[in-house]
Each structure stands twice: as C-alpha cells, then as structure tokens.
Amino acid sequence: MPNSHIPVITIDGPTASGKGTVAHKVAERLGFHVLDSGALYRLTALAALRRGTELSDEHALAKIAERLPAKFVGGEIFLGTENVGHALRAEEVGNAASKIAALPAVRQALYGLQLAFREAPGLVADGRDMGTVIFPGAKLKIFLTASVAARAERRYKQLIGKGFPANMEGLLADLHSRDERDMNRAVAPLKPAEGAHILDTSDMTADQAVEAVLEWYRHA
C-alpha cells in the first residue's frame, strides 16, 4: 500500500471511555490527523433518522453510508455543508449508531472511507475496531477503558454541558446495553487488538492518559 509507511495510533474502547478526547489531544501533540470512526456511524445514523429509514434496513443504510458526505474540519463535523457536531451527541443518534454498526454491509461501506484518513505525517484513529480490523498493522494500539460508573458520570457531565437532558440511571442502562451489543456483534466485536496496551482511565485525567499514550509511542 502506498501509504503503509505513515504511522498510525489506534485507540479503541467502549462508549464514553474518553478515547475521543485522548485521541484529539494525542494528535494535537504529535501534529497528526484524527479519525473519529464513531462519528462516521453517527453521521450515517443521523442521515438515516432524518430520512426515516428503518434501522433494520441494512441495504438502505449501506447505501447512505456509501454516499456519506462527511467532512472533518478543524475539530468540527459536517454532513455536507451542515455543521452537525451538536446533533451527533443526541442519545437517539448514539443509540441508532450502535445498532447500525452491527450491520456488516454498513461496516463494509465505511471501510474504504476510514482507510483514506491515513495521511502524512500520521493518524490517530479512535473507535471500536481500529486496531483489530481497519489498521491491524498500526505502529501503536491502545485499548482504552473505564468502569461503567466512571463512564456514565463522564457522559452525564458531557450531555448536561452541551444542553441535553440526562438521567444517570438511564445512562447506566444504556452503557450496559451498548457494551453488550458492541462486544457480542458478529462482525468486528469490541475487544483489545493483538499487542494492544490496555489503559484503564477510571481514576485518570485525560491529560494523564495522553501522557501514557505518548510514552508508549516514544518506545513503539
């Protein structure tokens, strides 16, 4: 592959583990590009919800994913010309994204799009199958996790901070169901990649997690 020499750091992990924040901070420190693979699934989900597409219609959802006009500009996420960063954080969109991510045709439709993010000088890719499926030859693989309680608290603060309603009991139940779905799906289940460093951030700040990743990268 022509770009196989470009270094990639993969950061996989469950919902609300903090992998997105860590990925962006690591990329900023290294001057690398960022791939938020979860955003691609949320963009597909948002487009499907707006069109009224059934979340069980795998063929129609794959068609939406194939033609997804996704753009990442300066930390902002666009669907076509619309900045949809705020809309993507709605729980309805997140739940829909988790469901369609289990569909093989949707995952295949987004495969090539994700590979195209590998550009010089390097890439930090966060998601659930970055190290296991999309970039199995990555220079450094991280599996970032945290307790369900810690993740629910972070998600609660994130939603409240962005003006969305949130209920701790509901968030705990939602995280349990998403974890179950992600870890047990037939295609690309959530699990640490071979050779991945496990990083539990339950009692860590984002900056502490970033320093751990950078230290591993220096010795990779």
The response to whether 15 counts as a known ligand-binding position is: yes
What CA–CA distance (Å, rounded) separates 204 from 21? 13
Tell me if 57 sits within 8 A of 100, measured CB to CB: no
The response to whether 13 counts as a known ligand-binding position is: yes
What separation in angstroms does the CA of 14 have from each of 28, 96, 174, 219?
22, 16, 12, 25
Distance of CA 203 to the CA centre of its chain: 21
The response to whether 21 counts as a known ligand-binding position is: yes
The response to whether 14 counts as a known ligand-binding position is: yes
The response to whether 136 counts as a known ligand-binding position is: no
Residues in CB range of 218: below 8 A, 6 or more apart: none
Tell me if 153 sits within 8 A of 133, measured CB to CB: no
b/e 73-94 (16+ beta carbons within 10 angstroms → b): eeeebebeeeebeebbbbbebb
Q: Which residues are annotated as a binding site?
A: 13-21
Q: Which residues are annotated as a binding site for ATP?
A: 13-21
